[in-house]
Amino acid sequence: MARRPIKTKDWVRFLVAHNCKYKRTKASHVHYQCPGCFRPVTHRDKDKDVPAMHLQTNLRTMGLTFDYLYNWLENN
């Protein structure tokens, strides 16, 4: 499956559905703490889309894959 950016609101919906909790906002970066993650998952809330490279880093932190993310988005 091609790696493509997704809408920020869809990314936040994905995080909340996976029991990630809002932790803080520092400058323009929003941080969520996910269960079992060794560091916070970060994105910029003011951006329209989350770039594929940022998704890759955050998914790796969560122990998930692009295929899982895109399948979840299609089904929810």
Tens-level pLDDT at each residue, the chain (76 residues): 578 899 999 999 999 999 999 999 988 899 999 998 999 999 998 889 999 999 999 999 999 999 999 999 999 8
Q: pTM for the full model?
A: 0.90
CATH classification of the domain holding 45: 3.30.920.30
Look at residue 1 and tell me if it is in a domain: no
- Supply the pLDDT for residue 3: 85
DSSP H helical segments within the chain, as ranges? 8-17, 52-62, 66-75
What does the alpha-carbon distance between residue 70 and residue 1 come to, in Å, rounded to a whole number? 8
Q: What is the pLDDT of residue 47?
A: 87
Cβ(48)–Cβ(7) below 8 Å? yes
Q: How far apart are CA 24 and CA 31, in angstroms?
A: 5
Cα(12)–Cα(18) distance, integer angstroms? 10
Domain of 17, in residue numbers: 6-75
Number of domains in the chain: 1
**Could you tell me the two tokens for 23?**
């932790």
User: Does residue 8 contact residue 49 with C-beta atoms inside 8 Å?
Assistant: yes
